């Protein structure tokens, strides 16, 4: 596993594992403690070497040699429980720990990161506010927040910035939107105007019934361009984004890239769905700067779309490439970028894969509570509760054209 800013001292990591094992959160969870120690030992002694369900089942949980992970979900269930316990610990008693231990979804490779105190505190207090509102329905939300203000003054000011009438968000039945979604999406949800989602629609020529291909300026007439097709990943990404903003009782507005104008950029918070290879508007406005899309200039993958790591950190590759064309797509890469807009009071969120499936995975990642919690623990939040600019790379596992797991493999915090 490739990790940005990982801790290099095995001793420090083992000390943190001991803290977890002896914590109130994991008290009485002998099987989870055993799993945690096993995963930590493997991560430290064999970095980058993946673990299989079969290996964990037989060596940790004593399953017989004929164990079949397709028939027995023990390992997946226990990993999910451990993942939840880790977040619970770092949102409560582990709030001041110098290291965060993470089990990214879709992998059994334990990761260790330097802590980000401010973000964890915000998440914890946001969850406390949510729990208090559910446990004390006879009290109004302002009263509950005032109580928290007396207990944790500065942090609750941040939560109040996230939790106003407009931005706290409720789902059906009056439940608040999950805390992680409120932290990540609050600026987009708080704006008077709903965010504008710009999806890619590449230029094609040909006919749907006989075959389409990308427009080639050297060979094709511009009069034959068809610009009203997009990938399945973009379609599903728009669905996920609509669902995420729906948690705040807000809608999204959707526009295809070929109709986008600079006036749109000046007057709206924007969410771009799809890479600059098809969403050509990204070539004209502020985009990502640390991880950029480029065609491979030479070699056996010449012409393939790649993701260039302009300032690779130790153990990070310089180029991220998906599965080769002509083979089954099993791996893709995607960028999540939160950058300032042309109008500095506006924000731009970029969700783009090297293929349409990677784009779908990026949208799923920022629309789900569990993955956003992992991201937020690695980031920082400003004192007024707003997300700071960042760029991140996901490695996406693909099975039969469906993204089944995304792993955060590189992260950059950007200057404002």
Q: Which of 105, 6, 87, 90 is nearest to 48 (CA)?
A: 6
Q: How far apart are CA 215 and CA 202, in angstroms?
A: 8
Instruction: Return all residues near 333 (Cβ < 8 A) that are at least 6 apart.
Output: 307, 320, 321, 322, 353, 354, 358, 393, 394, 395, 396
Nearest-angstrom CA–CA distance, 331 and 403 = 9
The pLDDT of residue 267 is: 87
Task: Quote the CA–CA distance of 45 and 153 in Å, as a whole number.
Answer: 43
Q: Does residue 206 register a pLDDT over 90?
A: no
412 three-class SS: strand
Local confidence band at 208 (pLDDT 50, 70, 90 cut-offs) = confident
- Cβ atoms of 243 and 367 within 8 Å: the answer is yes
pLDDT band at 161 (very low <50, low <70, confident <90, very high): very low
Asked whether residue 232 carries a pLDDT value surpassing 60, the answer given is yes
Residue closest to 319 by CA, chosen among 337, 299, 338: 299
CB 193 within 8 A of CB 267: yes
Is 345 strand, coil or helix?
Answer: coil
Higher local confidence (pLDDT), 23 or 222? 23
**What does the DSSP assignment read for 298-319?**
SSTTTT-EEEEESSPPTT--SE
Would you state the pLDDT for residue 138? 46
DSSP notation for 348-360: EEEEEESSHHHHH
- Cα 214 to Cα 205: distance, rounded to the nearest angstrom: 6
Strand-pair partners of 387? 381
Measured distance CA(62)–CA(54) in Å, rounded: 10
Q: Rounded to whole angstroms, how far apart are CA atoms 81 and 103?
A: 10
**DSSP H helical ranges for 152-211:** 153-162, 179-190
For residues 39-69, b (16+ Cβ closer than 10 Å) or e, as one string?
bbebbbeeeeeebebeebbbebbebeeebee
pLDDT higher than 90, residue 285: no
Whether the Cβ atoms of residue 215 and residue 205 lie closer than 8 Å to each other: yes
Residue with the larger pLDDT of the pair 219 and 373: 373
* Rounded Cα distance, 242 and 236, in Å: 10
Considering only 31-45, 48-62, 159-173, 341-355, which range has the smallest mean pLDDT? 159-173
Asked if 177 and 170 count as a contact pair (C-beta separation under 8 A), the reply is yes
Report the distance separating Cα 399 and Cα 405, nearest Å: 9
Residue 14 contacts residue 39 (beta carbons within 8 Å): no
Q: What confidence category does residue 211 fall into, taking pLDDT thresholds of 50, 70 and 90? A: confident
Please tell me the distance from the alpha carbon of residue 336 to that of residue 19, in angstroms, as a whole number: 32
Query: What average pLDDT does this structure show over 206-235?
Result: 78
* Helix, strand, or coil (residue 218): coil
Give residue-wise pLDDT tens across range 113-133. Answer: 876 555 555 555 555 555 555
Q: How many CA atoms, within 13 angstroms, populate the side-chain half-sphere of residue 357?
A: 20
**Which of 104-108, 173-177, 182-186, 341-345 comes out lowest in average pLDDT?**
173-177
DSSP reduced 3-state for 76: helix
Q: What is the value of pTM for the model shown?
A: 0.64
Q: Rounded distance, CA 85 to CA 274, Å?
A: 34
With 90 as the cut, is the pLDDT of residue 411 above it? yes
Q: In terms of Cα–Cα distance, which of 366, 360, 352 is closest to 234? A: 360
The predicted model gives 141-156 an average pLDDT of: 40
Residue 293 contacts residue 362 (beta carbons within 8 Å)? no
Mean pLDDT estimate for the chain: 80
Token pair, residue 299, equals 């070699």
> What integer pLDDT is reported at residue 106 of this predicted model?
77
**Highest-pLDDT range among 32-36, 170-174, 247-251:** 32-36
Q: What pLDDT score does 98 carry? A: 83
The pLDDT value given to residue 57: 93
Q: Could you tell me the pLDDT band of residue 215, with boundaries at 50, 70 and 90? A: confident
Q: Residue 415's pLDDT is what?
A: 81
Q: How confident is the model at residue 153 (pLDDT cuts 50, 70, 90)?
A: very low
pLDDT grade for 210, boundaries at 50, 70 and 90: confident
Beta carbons of 414 and 339 less than 8 angstroms apart: yes
Q: Give me 145's structure tokens.
A: 């927040």
**Residues facing 405 on adjacent strands:** 397
Choose the weakest-confidence range: 113-117, 192-196, 322-326.
Answer: 113-117
Instruction: For the chain, state the CA radius of gyration.
Output: 22
Q: Where are the beta strands (DSSP E) in 182-327?
A: 196-199, 204-207, 211-214, 253-256, 270-273, 291-295, 305-309, 319-320
């Amino acid at each position: 596993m490739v990790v940005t800013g990982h801790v290099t001292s095995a001793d420090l990591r083992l000390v943190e594992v001991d803290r977890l094992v002896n914590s109130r959160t994991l008290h009485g969870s002998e099987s989870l403690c055993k799993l945690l120690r096993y995963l930590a030992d493997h991560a430290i002694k064999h970095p980058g070497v993946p673990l299989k369900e079969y290996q964990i089942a037989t060596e940790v949980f004593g399953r017989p040699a004929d164990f079949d992970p397709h028939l027995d979900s023990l390992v997946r269930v226990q990993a999910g429980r451990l993942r939840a316990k880790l977040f619970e610990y770092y949102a409560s008693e582990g709030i001041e720990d110098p290291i965060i231990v993470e089990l990214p979804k879709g992998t059994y490779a334990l990761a260790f990161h330097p802590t980000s105190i401010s973000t964890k505190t915000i998440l914890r207090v946001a969850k406390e506010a949510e729990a208090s509102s559910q446990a004390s329905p006879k009290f109004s939300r302002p009263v509950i927040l005032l109580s928290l203000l007396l207990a944790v003054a500065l942090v609750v000011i941040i939560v109040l910035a996230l939790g106003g009438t407009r931005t706290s968000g409720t789902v059906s039945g009056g439940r608040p939107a999950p805390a992680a979604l409120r932290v990540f999406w609050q600026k987009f949800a708080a704006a008077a105007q709903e965010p504008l989602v710009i999806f890619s629609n590449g230029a094609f020529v040909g006919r749907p019934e006989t075959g389409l291909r990308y427009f080639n300026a050297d060979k094709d007439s511009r009069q034959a361009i068809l610009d009203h097709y997009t990938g399945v990943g973009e379609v599903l990404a728009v669905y996920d984004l609509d669902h995420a903003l729906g948690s705040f009782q807000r809608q999204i507005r959707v526009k295809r890239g070929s109709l986008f104008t600079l006036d749109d950029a000046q007057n709206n918070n924007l969410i771009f769905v799809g890479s600059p290879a098809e969403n050509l508007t990204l070539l004209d406005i502020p985009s990502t700067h640390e991880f950029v899309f480029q065609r491979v200039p030479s070699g056996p993958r010449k012409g393939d779309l790649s993701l260039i790591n302009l300032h690779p950190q130790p153990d990070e590759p310089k180029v991220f490439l998906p599965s080769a064309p002509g083979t089954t797509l099993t791996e893709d890469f995607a960028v999540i970028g939160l950058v300032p807009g042309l109008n500095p009071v506006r924000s731009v969120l970029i969700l783009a894969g090297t293929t349409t499936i990677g784009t779908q995975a990026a949208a799923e990642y920022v629309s789900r509570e569990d993955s956003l919690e992992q991201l937020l623990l690695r980031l920082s939040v400003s004192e007024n509760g707003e997300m700071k600019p960042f760029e991140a790379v996901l490695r996406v596992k693909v099975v039969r054209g469906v993204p089944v797991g995304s792993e955060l493999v590189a992260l950059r915090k950007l200057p404002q």
